[in-house]
Amino acid sequence: MSDAWRRAPNEVDPLSWFSGPLVPIVFGGLAMTFGVAVTLISYWGDPIPWFDWAAAVCLLLGFLAVGLVASPTLKASRLVRTIPPILLGWASFILSLAAHLDGPPLMVEVWWAPIGLAFLIGALAPYASAIRLLAFGSASVVYSAIVIAVVPFSSVGYWPRFSEALIGSGFVLVATAASTVFAYQVVMRIRHWSSTDPGAALSSAVLGESARMDILQRELASIGDRTMPFLRRIAHSGIVTAQDRDHAKLLADEVRGELVERANRSWLDSLAMRMDLTVLDADHHADRMTANQRAALLGLLGAVSENIGDTRSTIVIQLRGEPDGSTAVALSTDVQLPEGRRTTLLAPHYFSLQAAVDGLRWSTGGGLGLQFRLPPKSGKNS
């Protein structure tokens, strides 16, 4: 099955959904306003049954549950996080219908419960995959149609019961179709965009390798600056004294030690010479990264380094091997940036990094931080 069916929009583009809870707040506010208004009008002058108030409370709890789904810190699976809002929406639906068993006649075409359930499914769209929205939405359509067709509620009698079932479930059907298409299109387009822009990644990789070669050339030049004067003096004099032999031995030991130390550096260690970067990578896991992974990480490191400017903050990146052969990577800096500026900084580099690594997560505080995992062996998109 295509990845676009199995991933939620905020999984592939969390930066665009940092406002997270605002989506269920807006949808919930519209649904609750409409529901309360219709309820008050329907029972004008009469006491409102507790079933309708209980239905409104269940619907409100459903939107609050969607707000929890939007939280990036929640560790439960997407499936587990999707079930409670749907169950609360179903409970709200049947409780509202129960209020009309002996109450005033119900006009299905302006009944708030199916519209509230439709808004609830729509609020889940950014946080659930297309396949889950299709499955739970379809189940909600069938559920609402069966409940309307089977429960003997008091209706105005304009429509046959079958038509009322179609009208009531139609709101849910439209929301299901719209949410599924939305989630699929967002994920499909983002994944397509990130996977069909190899030029930027290759360009960054070339720049990164060029930077490393520049560093190595400078270091080798510094070694030459120390050894060449001594060799020229020996060649010019044509005489090698005991003092020259001792000096040559010390110089050789120093150069050998430096060359061995530099040969053991990873590409990140080399870049740390030019950036305010602290690398914790004792086992040289950085050298196992693919070209795309290096390019994506380099672009992000360059952006962060430029934006922290002359502050005293240091970028710390740690790579640690995992038992399954993967590599856990954590990058952090204590620089504090406003939310808007932080999002603007991370957004251009997010897609290429997301396409190259697994489990990418951003910190939700004011500082800059991220964690991701490099798959075993060649990794993703190698």
| Helices first, then strands: H and E counts in the chain | 13, 5
Q: What is the pLDDT of residue 280?
A: 84
The pLDDT tens digits of the residues spanning 1-28 come to 567 787 888 777 665 555 567 788 888 8
Of 138-147, 250-259, 271-280, 341-350, give the range with the top mean pLDDT.
138-147
Measured between alpha carbons, how far is 237 from 157 in angstroms, rounded to an integer? 117
The pLDDT tens digits of the residues spanning 109-137 come to 888 889 999 999 999 988 888 999 999 99
Identify which of 317, 308, 312 has the alpha carbon closest to the alpha carbon of residue 341.
308
Measured between alpha carbons, how far is 155 from 330 in angstroms, rounded to an integer? 60
Which uninterrupted H or E stretch holds 332?
Answer: strand 327-336
Identify which of 181, 193, 255, 182 has the alpha carbon closest to the alpha carbon of residue 219.
255
Is the pLDDT score of 207 beyond 70? Answer: no
Decide: 126 and 23 in contact? Cβ < 8 Å. yes
For 244-266, b/e burial (b = at least 16 CB within 10 A) is eeeeeeeeeeeeeeeeeebeebb
For the beta carbon of residue 378, count every other beta carbon within 10 angstroms.
11
Of 13-17, 82-86, 220-224, 348-352, give the range with the top mean pLDDT.
82-86
49: helix, coil or strand? coil
Q: What is the pLDDT of residue 141?
A: 94
Which uninterrupted H or E stretch holds 316?
Answer: strand 315-321
Q: What is the pLDDT of residue 220?
A: 59
What mean pLDDT do residues 291-295 have?
Answer: 75
Check: pTM over 0.75? Answer yes or no. Answer: no
Is the pLDDT score of 76 beyond 80? Answer: no
How buried is residue 25: exposed, middle or buried, by Cβ count under 10 Å (0-12/13-18/19+)?
A: middle
Task: Kindly indicate the confidence band of residue 382, based on its pLDDT and cuts at 50, 70 and 90.
Answer: very low
How buried is residue 318: exposed, middle or buried, by Cβ count under 10 Å (0-12/13-18/19+)?
A: middle
Q: What is the pLDDT of residue 206?
A: 44
Is the pLDDT score of 181 beyond 60? Answer: yes
Of 170-174, 209-213, 221-225, 365-369, give the range with the top mean pLDDT.
170-174
Q: What is the pLDDT of residue 172?
A: 93
Sole residue written with tokens 């708030």: 112
Which DSSP state fits 329?
E
Share of the chain above pLDDT 90, in %: 14
Q: What is the pLDDT of residue 339?
A: 58
Beta pairing partners, 280? 318
Q: What is the pLDDT of residue 91?
A: 93
For the beta carbon of residue 5, count every other beta carbon within 10 angstroms.
17
Averaged pLDDT score across all residues of the chain: 75
Whole-angstrom CA distances from 182 to 69, 187, 297 are: 18, 9, 30
